[in-house]
Structure formats: structure tokens, C-alpha cells
């Protein structure tokens, strides 16, 4: 078997191919959307690297990464030449909500805004959460120009909530005080 070529030179002039073959500019909103999902997936990998001692959290994050890869493939597809399912189902959204409920049940109630920080895992969750929110905005921008399956936006929206409770969980689990916003600072 021949080794694949990593560089093709086809993108040297600022274009790339969508699934289906259509070439678009690398700053096309579709590329921005799935590129941000790819960036988010990388941040989730870092979160997972910081949580290897928690097998249930690892399984949750692995589920998220697989679904994000599905979403990325869906967003990278040109619907005019290649229709790809979004790769996220009602059951996946229900599972995400269940994951939020499980992690949140382990946390004390709060009625204040939490500042990003604490442990490395918590801080990285907050970075992933903000990238997730940006991905959501890029997907909504794409939805202004073409149809986007509502499962995608719903899943990404729930994921930012999951990352928020997971950040809190990492701090609580490590006996690290959460940092609450003090508007009078």
C-alpha cells in the first residue's frame, strides 16, 4: 500500500474542496463552520487528556468527539452535489442532556456567574465552551444561506452547556474553589 500524500498543492491559491468536489474559498462560511467544529474537537481532546483518571468522563468526551466529527463531515458536504446525513439524532441530543444532568447532579447549586479558571481541565473546558459558542454562531451564519439540520445546532448548543458543568465538576472534584464574578472589582 502506498502512503498517502499529505500535501496536494490544490489549496495553494486559497481554495479547498467540499465533500462532493465543489471548490470554495477557504474563508467560505461553510469552511468557517466545519473548521470551528474541528478546532472544538481538538480542544475536547485536550479536556480528555486532563481527565484520564475519570473513565465515565472519558466515555462522555469520546461520544462528543465522534458526534463532532459527524457534524464536521456533514458541514463539509456540498448539499448540491453530495448529501450527507448530519450524524446526530434525537437520541444523541437526549444522551447529551442526560450527561449534563449526571454531571450537574454532582455540583452544588450556584446563583452567580462563574469566571473561567481553576484546574487545567476546568480552564480548558471553558476554552472549549467558548469555541463551541463560536462554532454555533458560524453554523447559524451558514444556516442563513442554506438549510442546516436543526439537530446540529441543538447538539452544539447542548454541548456548550455540558462543557460549562464539566468545568465546574473538575474544580469541585479537585477541591478547587470556583471563582465567582465580582462586579465591584
Instruction: Give the residue from 108, 106, 92 showing the smallest Cα distance to 60.
Output: 92
Helix axes 29-49 and 120-143, enclosed angle (nearest 10): 160
User: Angle at the Cα of 31 (from 26 to 34), degrees rounded to 5?
Assistant: 150
pLDDT digits (tens, 9 = 90+) for 21-72: 787 777 889 999 999 999 999 999 999 999 867 789 999 999 999 999 999 9
Determine the Cα–Cα distance for residues 125 and 165; give it in Å rounded to an integer: 9
Return the CATH number of the domain spanning residue range 25-173.
1.20.1200.10
Instruction: Give the residue from 78, 91, 76, 75 showing the smallest Cα distance to 155.
Output: 91
DSSP state of 178: P
pTM comes to 0.91
Q: Are 123 and 116 in contact (CB under 8 A)?
A: yes
pLDDT digits (tens, 9 = 90+) for 90-139: 999 999 999 999 999 999 899 889 989 999 999 999 999 999 999 999 99
Q: Are 94 and 63 in contact (CB under 8 A)?
A: no
- Sorted by where each begins, the domain ranges of the chain are 25-173
Amino acid at each position: 500500500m502506498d502512503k498517502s500524500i499529505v500535501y496536494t498543492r490544490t489549496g495553494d491559491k486559497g481554495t479547498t474542496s467540499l465533500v462532493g468536489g465543489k471548490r470554495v474559498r477557504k474563508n467560505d462560511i461553510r469552511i468557517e463552520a466545519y473548521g470551528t467544529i474541528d478546532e472544538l474537537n481538538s480542544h475536547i481532546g485536550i479536556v480528555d487528556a486532563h481527565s484520564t483518571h475519570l473513565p465515565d468522563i472519558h466515555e462522555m468526551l469520546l461520544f462528543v468527539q465522534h458526534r463532532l466529527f459527524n457534524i464536521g463531515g456533514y458541514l463539509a458536504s456540498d448539499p448540491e452535489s453530495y448529501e450527507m446525513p448530519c450524524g446526530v439524532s434525537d437520541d444523541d441530543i437526549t444522551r447529551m442532556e442526560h450527561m449534563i444532568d449526571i454531571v450537574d447532579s454532582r455540583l452544588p447549586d450556584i446563583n452567580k456567574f462563574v469566571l473561567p479558571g481553576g484546574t487545567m481541565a476546568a480552564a480548558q473546558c471553558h476554552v472549549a465552551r467558548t469555541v463551541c459558542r463560536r462554532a454555533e454562531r458560524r453554523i447559524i451564519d451558514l444556516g442563513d444561506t442554506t438549510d442546516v439540520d436543526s439537530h446540529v445546532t441543538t447538539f452544539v448548543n447542548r454541548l456548550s452547556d455540558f462543557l460549562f458543568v464539566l468545568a465546574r465538576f473538575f474544580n469541585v472534584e479537585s477541591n478547587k474553589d470556583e471563582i465567582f464574578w465580582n462586579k465591584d472589582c
